[in-house]
Homo-oligomer: A and B are copies of this chain.
């Protein structure tokens, strides 16, 4: 991780431009790739650099879910109606506080066009719905709920539709790793066809400024530093900051709790964000992050999720990332799953990873002692749950009836207080809907654009699977179009 200064270089100190292009894109994950493809389509000559040895960044490690809606062909083929309004209403509720209303509006309005663009890039989605609780769908399924749309409270507020579109893995070759990798493969192929020059093992270190305007950058490749002139502008698409311990401590210490692990690459060191800040960019919601709940959803949905005092605090059948965020940020990461043998067997048949409970007992009092909670509280929690479940209701947390069944001894408890939560950051540079980086007073910084997790985007605070890839590709494209005509 580079800790070299991100202070910008005045153009007067640049004596030689070793490369030039209309547009320089820093980072070749899905945001940078999308930006480069659209910038070329808008007539610009584009150079992309990436610190890694190849394309992909965190995208290539992801599950390849893209949050799309408003009535895609996949949604229709699976029998779902959806609308721009419903999509917007849901995301506004699910991504706050302070949802990015301006971005949500153009994102939902443009979702069908974006779906078509992805298909033109070679991405395919199998029109088949996956409904079992899990983080990802198996090969052969292209649609799933990824935000708790069909669970309390959202299902009562907005007509639910599944919007997690999963990039198809059919035709996967040996060594090809995930649906996110597959998305990148298609984008990189499209990028190559478009004639974009990409230089790998090339890290963007500092921006070059002419007065207030960004006119290029200093890059480093195998120890060699050189300046790249960007006639129209620079797009920062260099990922988040989950791999930067100092930035995590400063902004999002809960994400850095011991045992949590980074979902991303070592290049997610926040350098893109700091380069923007160094020329006066504003940031948004730097404390925010996605945190995957550390248990298989197949078990989570069927269990009682308890906090450190033995209380339930969320319906277990909502999006497991929402459960993870709530547990990490609101319950000090103190979580237990309580279940019984039948639950364990049923969940295990479907679970991706079968786990053993930390403690097993017929006696709730004994379990309460192990958990360090008041036995009368645990008894009351189970009694309330069981009484409701017997009549098909969850008066406390409103889990859907299909997941309810009174628990009977022996009980198992899975201790999740040490996580680990898989985390990544979602705060970053403040940008306009055109991908312009905005300054401290909200005005665009001339010549500077950004996309992906270098920015704060659609997942403003609350997260749904697919909103990061969706935001990165959608607003990456917009940044590419904007910089090409800047």
Which A residues are closer than 8 A to B by beta carbons? 3-7, 96-98, 212, 246, 249-251, 253-254, 257, 274, 277-278, 280, 282-287, 309-313, 329-331, 374-377, 380-381, 383-384, 387-388, 395-397, 430, 439-443, 461
Residue contact B5 to A284, C-beta cutoff 8 Å: no
Chain B residues with CB under 8 Å of A383's CB are 376, 380
A388–B309 Cα gap in the complex (Å)? 15
Chain B residues with CB under 8 Å of A280's CB are 7, 277-278
Chain B residues with CB under 8 Å of A284's CB are 250-251
User: Can you report 26 A-B residue pairs in the complex whose CB atoms are below 8 A from each other?
Assistant: A5-B439, A5-B443, A97-B254, A98-B253, A246-B442, A250-B284, A250-B285, A251-B284, A277-B277, A278-B280, A286-B287, A309-B311, A309-B312, A309-B313, A309-B396, A309-B397, A310-B396, A311-B311, A311-B313, A329-B330, A375-B395, A376-B387, A376-B388, A377-B380, A377-B384, A380-B383
Residue contact A395 to B380, C-beta cutoff 8 Å: no
A286–B374 Cα gap in the complex (Å)? 36
* Among B250, B330, B430, B461, contact of A282 (Cβ-Cβ < 8 Å): B250
A309–B307 Cα gap in the complex (Å)? 13
Chain B residues with CB under 8 Å of A331's CB are 330
The smallest C-beta distance from A344 to any residue of chain B, in angstroms, reads 26
A395–B377 Cα gap in the complex (Å)? 9
Residue of B nearest to A326 (CB): B330
Question: Which among A274, A430, A441 has the greatest number of chain B C-beta atoms within 10 A?
Answer: A441
Chain B residues with CB under 8 Å of A442's CB are 246
* Among B251, B254, B395, contact of A374 (Cβ-Cβ < 8 Å): B395
Residue contact B380 to A374, C-beta cutoff 8 Å: no
Chain B residues with CB under 8 Å of A97's CB are 253-254, 257
Given A7-B212, A250-B284, A310-B396; 7 other pairs, CB 8 A cutoff: A5-B443, A274-B440, A278-B280, A286-B287, A309-B313, A374-B384, A376-B384
Residue contact B285 to A440, C-beta cutoff 8 Å: no
Chain B residues with CB under 8 Å of A330's CB are 329-331
The smallest C-beta distance from A96 to any residue of chain B, in angstroms, reads 7
Chain B residues with CB under 8 Å of A286's CB are 251, 286-287
Residue contact B374 to A396, C-beta cutoff 8 Å: yes
Chain B residues with CB under 8 Å of A253's CB are 96-98, 461
Chain B residues with CB under 8 Å of A312's CB are 309
Residue contact A440 to B6, C-beta cutoff 8 Å: yes
Chain B residues with CB under 8 Å of A376's CB are 383-384, 387-388, 395
A461–B313 Cα gap in the complex (Å)? 23
Chain B residues with CB under 8 Å of A282's CB are 250, 277
Chain B residues with CB under 8 Å of A377's CB are 380, 384, 395-396
* Among B6, B7, B287, B397, contact of A287 (Cβ-Cβ < 8 Å): B287
Residue contact B380 to A384, C-beta cutoff 8 Å: yes
Chain B residues with CB under 8 Å of A443's CB are 5
A212–B9 Cα gap in the complex (Å)? 11
A485–B289 Cα gap in the complex (Å)? 42
The smallest C-beta distance from A213 to any residue of chain B, in angstroms, reads 12
A376–B7 Cα gap in the complex (Å)? 60
Residue contact B98 to A250, C-beta cutoff 8 Å: yes
Residue of B nearest to A445 (CB): B7
Residue contact A441 to B6, C-beta cutoff 8 Å: yes
Chain B residues with CB under 8 Å of A440's CB are 6, 274, 277-278
Residue contact A430 to B250, C-beta cutoff 8 Å: yes
Answer whether A441 and B309 are a contact pair too, CB < 8 Å, given A254-B97, A277-B280, A380-B380: no
The smallest C-beta distance from A247 to any residue of chain B, in angstroms, reads 9
The smallest C-beta distance from A377 to any residue of chain B, in angstroms, reads 5
Chain B residues with CB under 8 Å of A375's CB are 395
A249–B251 Cα gap in the complex (Å)? 16
The smallest C-beta distance from A203 to any residue of chain B, in angstroms, reads 15
